[in-house]
Structure 1
Amino acid sequence: MVQSKSIQAATKRRLKIWLFLIVLFGGWAVYTVINQMIQKDNLNEQLLSLEANRDAMHQQLQELENKVMLLNDPEYLSQLATKEQGMVKEGEQQIFSE
């Protein structure tokens, strides 16, 4: 009788230890999952920000390429020189407006 009580006590102790280990592992797993979800959300926010920045830079690049194309046009250069620098061709007279 005494021996069966000690066996039952040892079995209960083992069960408590296993239960404690299972709860500890489950807590660690939940913590890891939540931590990874938070990191994923932060990385998604960074990705969206970088993509928006990339799109803005791409648009700025397109605008600059268009300006370069215009600078290769002699007619545009002539208009630009007249408008910004006040240069005129021989025989032409610049008209100023107020």
Structure 2
Amino acid sequence: GLPALTATAFDQVGTGEHGRYLSPSASKEMITSGMAEILQRREELGRQARDHVVRHHGLETFADRYEQLYQWCLGRGSKPKFDETWKADTINRIQRS
């Protein structure tokens, strides 16, 4: 339930609806400004961030996606269409196993 402030090259953090995205070369002033902005909107951004995580990364969502994937692998369903973030997260989990 907290907003995010990030300075990273990873551009999958959203478009500002959950916090503030800064480039890796952000100055101290830009980071300070970003922190002030998210603190002013902490409750709103935090609520939106939590809703996003639950909707896109919650247990039910992952269970549904894995079920679709397994059904397709077993020839019992059509090929699932997953977003790039889910694919990357899934590949990372498999590689760590």
TM-score when normalising by structure 1: 0.32
Larger relative contact order, structure 1 or 2 (CA cutoff 8 Å, min sep 6)? 2
| Greater C-alpha radius of gyration | 1
Structure with the largest fraction of helix:
1
Structure with the largest fraction of strand:
2
